[in-house]
Chain A
Amino acid sequence: QLQLQESGPGLVKPSETLSLTCTVSGGSISSSSYYWGWIRQPPGKGLEWIGSIYYSGSTYYNPSLKSRVTISVDTSKNQFSLKLSSVTAADTAVYYCARRGSSGWRVWGQGTTVTVSS
């Protein structure tokens, strides 16, 4: 059974770079036709798609975050990562990693809370 697990610092200072990793277990991150993505949820608010990386390595980002986001894959570790630069308090959220096939975002990590504060 495929499982995803987010990891990374829970506290990031303003203007710094948020870095998170999603470890995939029970399956290969190189499996064809899947997107691996990051989705976040600020406290008390809705879901926001941040970006995705396709199994081919192509990346796709939310236009509103594109200038600050980088998503990459490390196939040797079966992981994919998120970097969000120049963070502000508005980036405080629960960050989820998830996998999408043709049937929607079917597999999610449990989420990790990131607070931006000095």
Chain B
Amino acid sequence: SSELTQDPAVSVALGQTVRITCQGDSLRSYYASWYQQKPGQAPVLVIYGKNNRPSGIPDRFSGSSSGNTASLTITGAQAEDEADYYCNSRDSSGNHSPWVFGGGTKLTVL
């Protein structure tokens, strides 16, 4: 089965840009989706597909992908962006193959 690897923690100064990465073999075949989770709340989808944001997600959130690495970039991080971020994609073995989440990255906004 596939695994998705994320850095456990990342920090960014208020207003600066931060990139959160997700690595895995399945990302060569499938786009990742990204989820923001604040304490005590359900995850929220922030990026899906090549680089798409659901309505209501600020345009400071963007996504990209290269090879086996997907990235979530926050340009001009705000205090309210402090949260855990998870990537999600399929196992690489087919269109109905299992999904897998990355281990999550805790983002601290300084």
A: residues with CB less than 8 A from B are 37, 39, 46-49, 52, 54, 58, 60-63, 96, 100, 102-106, 108-111
Contacts and interface: CB of A to CB of B under 8 A. Distances in A.
A106 B42 contact: no
B41 to A, nearest CB: 8
B42 A109 contact: yes
22 contacts: A46-B101, A46-B103, A47-B35, A49-B100, A49-B101, A60-B96, A63-B98, A96-B42, A100-B99, A102-B49, A103-B45, A103-B54, A104-B33, A104-B49, A104-B88, A105-B35, A105-B88, A106-B48, A106-B54, A108-B42, A109-B42, A110-B42
A63 B48 CA distance: 24
For the residues of A in contact with B, the DSSP-based class is strand
Contacts of A63: 1, 98
Contact of B48 (A103, A109, A111): A103
A62 B98 contact: yes
B98 A47 contact: no
Chain B interface size, under 10 / 10 to 19 / 20 to 34 / 35 or more: 20 to 34
A103 B52 contact: yes
Contacts, number: 61
B24 interface: no
Interface string B22-45: 000000000001010100001111
A49 B98 contact: yes
Contacts of A102: 49
